[in-house]
């Protein structure tokens, strides 16, 4: 069958009213959905922006606090560098120092009972921060002893030999020895002995200990302290002579 369009010619090109109304509704719905998505995206971005601003404010506060702390520490900024620059000199002084405590303790053990010291004049070797470890400082120091001995020159010789065998002394020699019959009830020998003070670099360590030592080091240092009873024993002969001195 053939279709016949009975509409007038002027009406044939128009769309139906229902179709035009449906398309407009679809467009409105699509526009509303797009608008809702845009508003949702804007609100989400706005919330995210607020969180970032809060984070930035916290970071600014932290940076300001740290800057204040750095300003407080600025006077000590180059302290580490200064310590590192001075450490070689401090270590050199430390390792080339003379161990007076150990020397005096050793001296207390080697003085013969037949002699007693009256004076001790000593000067250690000059500090050399570049001296090699395990080598003695050159020139060495010097020490002079004066004392009294029982009236036998063998007692003075015994003193010289013992001084020369002490690890801190070398080349001990007798400068003078004279029998004294005036100052004491019994005759006694006044003598003077000179010796070199030997300093072995690094014998007591090569670096300055800035922190406290370990318990073992502390105990070791305590065991090397002065024994007053032993030191007092070295004055026995002097006390004996002094007690018998003439008024």
- For the question of whether the overall pTM of this predicted structure is more than 0.85, the answer is no
Asked if 32 and 142 sit in the same domain, the reply is no
pLDDT band at 196 (very low <50, low <70, confident <90, very high): very high
Q: What domain range is 198 assigned to? A: 98-243
Asked if 59 and 135 sit in the same domain, the reply is no
Q: CATH code at 161?
A: 3.30.70.60
What's the N-to-C CA distance of the chain in angstroms?
Answer: 170
Q: Give φ, ψ of 176 to 5 degrees.
A: -160, 155
Contacts of 224 (CB under 8 A, 6+ apart): 101, 102, 105
How does pLDDT run across 60-100, given as a tens digit for each residue?
999 999 888 888 887 777 777 887 888 888 887 888 888 88
Asked if 119 and 226 sit in the same domain, the reply is yes
How does pLDDT run across 197-235, given as a tens digit for each residue?
998 887 777 777 765 555 444 334 433 333 333 333 333
Distance CA 181, CA 185 (A): 8
Asked if 137 and 199 sit in the same domain, the reply is yes
Inter-CA distances, 101 with 64, 114, 217, 224, Å: 53, 24, 16, 8
């Amino acid at each position: 069958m053939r279709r016949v369009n009975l509409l007038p010619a002027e009406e044939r090109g128009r769309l139906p009213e229902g179709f035009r109304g449906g398309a407009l509704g679809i467009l409105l719905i699509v526009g509303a959905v797009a608008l809702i998505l845009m508003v949702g995206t804007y609100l989400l971005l706005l919330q995210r922006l607020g969180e970032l601003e809060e984070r930035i404010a916290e970071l600014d506060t932290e940076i300001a606090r740290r800057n204040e702390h750095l300003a407080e520490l600025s006077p000590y900024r180059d302290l580490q560098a200064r310590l590192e620059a001075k450490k070689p000199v401090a270590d050199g002084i430390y390792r080339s120092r003379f161990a007076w405590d150990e020397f005096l303790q050793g001296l207390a053990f080697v003085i013969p009972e037949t002699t007693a010291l009256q004076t001790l004049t000593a000067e250690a070797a000059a500090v050399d921060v570049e001296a090699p470890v395990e080598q003695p400082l050159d020139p060495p120091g010097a020490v002079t002893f004066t004392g009294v001995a029982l009236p036998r020159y063998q007692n003075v010789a015994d003193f010289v030999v013992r001084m020369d065998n002490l690890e801190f002394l070398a080349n001990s020699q007798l400068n003078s020895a004279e029998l004294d019959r005036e100052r004491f009830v019994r005759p006694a020998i006044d003598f003077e002995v000179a010796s070199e003070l030997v300093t072995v670099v690094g014998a007591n360590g090569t670096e300055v200990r800035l922190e406290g030592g370990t318990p073992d080091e502390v105990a070791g240092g305590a065991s090397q302290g002065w024994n007053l009873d032993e030191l007092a024993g070295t004055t026995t002969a002097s006390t004996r002579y002094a007690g018998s001195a003439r008024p």
